[in-house]
Structure 1
């Protein structure tokens, strides 16, 4: 994809991005499952997410996954399946610093839910709070002129439609 102005390539639709988000969650589950299995075997622990090292591991594995794909092609398998690409504001691939900023800021999706959990909220109230925040976060994207999520706006990245080239 060549570098273009931000308005030359329209942003991807919210429905397509949300579908890719769901698919990405399924794929990320598989990546984390395999990585946690290796972690448990190599450290001889009963629980892969036990203590601070486990939490760091659960943060670093997805970071490595996303940074690798976002900086190489701009597409994870889920983004490729849904014909989406992550680019900077000029249509260029993300550099490592911008990709890392996007990854860290993307935790805004779950930050209120994690906060509720840390304060001892569990069960249906936790689920309701997380679902409500995701709805609010999505509505914020609807208000943005380019339909971009807050983490993309702050990180200076965009998700655009990348349809396959016709032969």
Structure 2
């Protein structure tokens, strides 16, 4: 969960950079004009961010910080198709809540949206807690898993390796 929150902080920068590039390219002068295009651009750029890192070493910047790695169920690196599938399925954290608030007509109520989002996130956490391997639903459906991978300690030059009797 800490990596999830840290990822959100990093993605804020990605989204701001995307908006800074998108707005002049599309001549967007008002935030509400062309907002759906900007949202689609952010969706694609965020997807590229995750897919790139997951396919190149299995770790986003936040996952590296928390020593987490994404692999398939056999422990192998994630294929691009599996990374795309995981990215799309990860929206299960948010889409049910957003769809519910839209269908109920609560799109202008920040309190309702935040309550629905929090409830949905808690439901995702509960599902993972109940899973025998503590996996999130999107990982189960995508055939991926998050593993803990601590870095190998670096040896000081001239130091005797641990367990070396000499």
Give TM-score scaled by structure 2 length: 0.85
Q: Which of structures 1 and 2 has the bigger CA Rg? A: 2
Pair 159,115 (structure 1): closer, same or farther in 2 beyond 3 Å? same
4+ aligned runs moved over 4 Å, structure 1: none
Q: What RMSD in Å do the two structures reach over aligned CA positions? A: 1.5
Deviation at 1:124, TM superposition (A): 1.4
- CA offsets 1:12-33 (integer angstroms, 9 cap, x no match): xxxxxx0000000000010110
* Counterpart in the other structure of 2:24: 41
- Which is bigger in relative contact order (C-alpha 8 A, separation at least 6)? 1
1:103 aligns with 2:90: no
Cα deviation, 1:64-86, whole Å, max 9, x if unaligned, reads 10010000110011000000001
**What is the CA–CA distance in structure 1 between the aligned matches of 2:101 and 2:120, rounded to whole Å?**
14
Q: What is aligned with 1:155?
A: 142
Provide structure 2 residue ranges, at least 5 long, that are not aligned to the other structure.
155-166
The answer to whether the Cα contact below 8 Å between 1:102 and 1:155 also exists between their aligned partners in 2 is yes
Aligned residues: 150
Q: Partner residue of 1:114?
A: 98
Partner of 2:129: 142
Residues of 2 paired with 1:38 and 1:95: CA distance?
Answer: 29
- How much does 1:54 deviate? 2.3
CA–CA separation in structure 1 for the residues paired with 2:37 and 2:22: 10
Secondary structure of residue in 2 paired with 1:158: strand
**Structure 2 residue 50 is the aligned partner of structure 1 residue 63:** no
In structure 1, the residue matched to 2:6 is 23
Q: How far apart, CA to CA, are the structure 2 residues paired with 1:127 and 1:116?
A: 12
Q: Secondary structure of 1:159's partner?
A: strand
Q: Identify unmatched segments of 5+ residues in structure 1.
A: 1-17
TM-score in terms of structure 1 length = 0.85
